[in-house]
A and B are shown apart, each in its own frame.
Chain A
Amino acid sequence: MNRLLAAGLTVSALLVPLTARAQSTSALLDQGVRAYSVREYDGGAWLLRRALAVEGSLGLGPTDAARALIYLTAIEVARNQRDSALAAARRLVVLDPRYRPDERTFPPQVIAVYQEARRSAPAVSIRANGDTAIRPGAEAFVVRLGASTTPEVTASVNGTDGRIVRMLYTGTIRDTIEVRWNGLDASGNAPPDGRYAILVTPTARERRNSGGGDSWTLRLPLEVARPAVDTTPLPAAPPDSLFRPERGDTRGAMHALVPGVAAGLAIVVLPNLVASGERASSARLIVGGTVAIAGVAAFLSHHPGQRLPENTQYNRNLRENWRRNVAEISRRNADRLRQGKMIIRPGAPALVTETP
């Protein structure tokens, strides 16, 4: 019967790569636990590692992650893989320092490995309150660092490339401290969506004081996402057709000259047509001459190469209005983005130790 069940689990384990994406991590966990119970250790280890590898919102919660790690520890003990068992147990200690394996469920060897992990693991822990939505700059994502000793550590938010996005804390952990991240990078801007991690490491002085022993890094993976915020598209720059020539040209000059001269001539000549035989007064010469002179003056003010201050001012106003609009809309968009929520999803913490 056991062999039949084991065969089924093996087949399902082989099929897992095809269906893993569609399968929930809790289902993988259950299958891993069942594999342990029927002593199908290889398939069980694979299933549990698979479940633990998923991060973000699809990953295991803290309780399930602890369950997966203790069963993985037990499987590795059963497979005589002591180092792997110890590594899984250390991850469990980091995840939940207060975790205690059930002595009725697990054999004494598993309990012993876990106790050894507790003794050898750095006495620091990191906890987050699950998925959190904050307004960058106004609210904070809080993690709690705990330690049974008083290590001096640094905590920072880092990108996947290791670059420090924001330094969060440098100092001693006495019992527990809260570390807050307001969602902004060192320059005060919200970083782009993606994967980040809070890294807690001992300071150089702490490493020296501890006799140059194991160096360790406590890592809390974070997935940062921001729901799309409606923003107003920026207005396009005014097209060239809207700008006026800033220097006179022949065409503009003629447009100014022709109406003036034509109207002036008409005023002088028309009285002869309207009231032929009448001796018109010199008033027509005064007005007609004035209009013609105004036309010539307008021509000179538009002549090729002549600066046209009113057009320059008009163009300047056009550009400034556009720049003002762009600045105003950019400011509003920035306000909307700032007021938009940032969702931070913490994953399972992990401890990496390095032996010098």
Chain B
Amino acid sequence: MNEDDLARRIVGQLDRNLAELPASATQKLQAARMAALSRYRADLPQGRARALALPRWFSGRSLTLRLALPLAIVIASITGLLFWQMSAPHEDELDTGLLAGELPIHAYIDPGFDTWLQHTSHTPQQ
């Protein structure tokens, strides 16, 4: 007899005996199990409890709802990335603009020119 056969026999014996248990004993076992489970949930650290709550939330929702949240996260991430790329020009683009632009590079770093622009008017300044 190999290990699997032995395991099957033991499980069979246990199941048979379980079916013959008096109702009072089954009720006590069930109450003990519920008490243990409720204590276990109460003892869970906050983060872990939240981590377990999400899969529970998912399992209780329809397929559409379960897909909607990850999809919304992906769309928001892509939108954020695109917005970042469009609003923050790449340094290569800036460097090329500085090197090839009509205004000399020095104009962008000379503090005297900034002051001159301020003094002489309605000049572009930030």
Do A and B truly interact? no
Residues of chain A touching chain B, judged by Cβ–Cβ distance below 8 Å, are none
Taking Cβ atoms with an 8 Å cutoff, the residues of B that contact A are none
